[in-house]
Amino acid sequence: MTAFADTGFSTSAFSPSAFDFGSGPTPPTPPTTSSTDAGCCLRVTASDIIRGALRYINVYASGESLAASDAEDALETLNDLLDSFSTDEASVYAATEETFAFTAGQYRYTIGNYCAGQFAGTVTSGSPVITSATIPSDMIVNGDLRGTGIAAGTYIVSIDTTLGTITMSANATTTPGPQQIDYTIPGDFKTTRPLRIVQAFTRIQTSGTSGLDYPIEITSRERYNEIGYKGISAPWPVAVWYNPTMPLGELYFYQNPSGSGELHLFISTILRTICNITDHIVLPKGYVRWLKWALAKELATEYGKSWTQQHQNNWKEARDLVKALNKVPTVVSRYDDFLVNPRRDAGWILYGGFR
């Protein structure tokens, strides 16, 4: 299942027993829905979106079977749309929190985890070792591996160029024989390369599981370049500049963290690629209709169909509703209340200053 949203919402199903219907006939039992369908998300397949889009422009009639060639072409276009929407901050519905550990004395970090290519190797069921491997010169420990008999999430533990072996983090599940295996090259911070960093802070553990959070300002290249001495040390950084280079992004922190604090990055969620039309997709409210109309608009020209003003109105309405939902409140200037209303006692302790 391709997940686009957090499905951890708590929903309450409708129950007729919660109402007093008197002595009349027993009311009909409502249809059963999953918590995902009944809550704030809608679970559909890529095929549902493609069928809806093609039906909107009269390429297919309701209930008509989708040809394999049409499905393949439409899926490619749908993935192009998702890739494009990810670059528009107003089209992204959430920020993902990622946590990493600082290395004392290091202020520049790479971030990402890109597919670097393939290599030949053989896996054996029950063994974590890839044998007869033609090890690429750029392969490093912690990179992900993907191939037949290799479980999802498996990564490289160690590399032996002399023996031509690679030790994986998990045993192989089958023995498919020699094959081509995909591998990735991770950055210092291993995650999907961010398009943008929204917010950040450092958490310093004080005792046990408690800790204090210190905000990090997301700054521009110009502001970062104005800093005269960038290597100055401090317990935690106060600013970061993100340079979205390829294939790995670069993070430049100021001041140079001298401790081993925990970095929390909030990254705009990337709408992920859909591999098959049968893949289930979890989307927030409004996105399914928008994707159907957006895909219909893309496919109309390809199929030689007219795009009417009513089509345009429906597409615009669906898009605007989603973007309005994702709109971030405007940041306003904030001043310490003490500057304009000095307190003469310590009564603020009772309400924490939030009054």
pLDDT (0 to 100) of residue 205: 78
Q: What's the pTM value of the predicted model, to 2 decimals?
A: 0.75
Q: How far apart are CA 242 and CA 98, in angstroms?
A: 15
Residue located via tokens 């089958």 = 174
Domain 2-10+34-91+272-325 listed as CATH 1.10.3230.20: yes
Question: CA of 43: how far to CAs of 48, 51, 97, 227, in Å?
Answer: 10, 15, 23, 48
CB 276 within 8 A of CB 22: no
pLDDT (0 to 100) of residue 37: 46
Three-state SS across the chain? Answer: CEECCCCCCCCCCCCHHHCCCCCCCCCCCCCCCCHHHHCCEEEEEHHHHHHHHHHHCCCCCCCCCCCHHHHHHHHHHHHHHHHHHCCCHHHCCCEEEEEEECCCCCCEEEECEEEEEEEEEECCECCCEEECCCCCCCCCCCCEEECCCCCCCCEEEEEECCCCEEEECCCECCCCCCEEEEEEEECCECCCCCCCEEEEEEEEEEECCEEEEEEEEEECHHHHHCCCCCCCEECCCCEEEEECCCCCEEEEEECEECCCCEEEEEEECCCCCCCCCCCEEEEECCHHHHHHHHHHHHHHHHCCCCCCHHHHHHHHHHHHHHHHHHCCCCCCCCCCHHHHCCCCCCHHHHCCCCC
pLDDT (0 to 100) of residue 287: 93
Residue type, 297: K
Tens-binned pLDDT, residue by residue, of the chain (355 aa)? 444 443 333 333 333 333 333 334 444 444 443 434 444 555 689 999 999 999 999 999 988 999 999 999 999 999 999 999 999 988 998 899 999 999 988 999 999 999 999 999 999 999 999 999 999 999 999 999 999 999 999 999 999 999 999 999 999 999 999 999 999 999 999 999 999 999 999 998 766 666 789 999 999 999 999 999 988 899 899 999 999 999 999 999 999 998 778 999 999 888 888 989 999 888 889 999 999 999 999 999 999 999 999 999 999 999 999 999 988 777 666 665 555 565 555 554 554 444 4
pLDDT (0 to 100) of residue 137: 95
List CB contacts of 127: < 8 A, sequence separation 6 or more. Answer: 171, 172
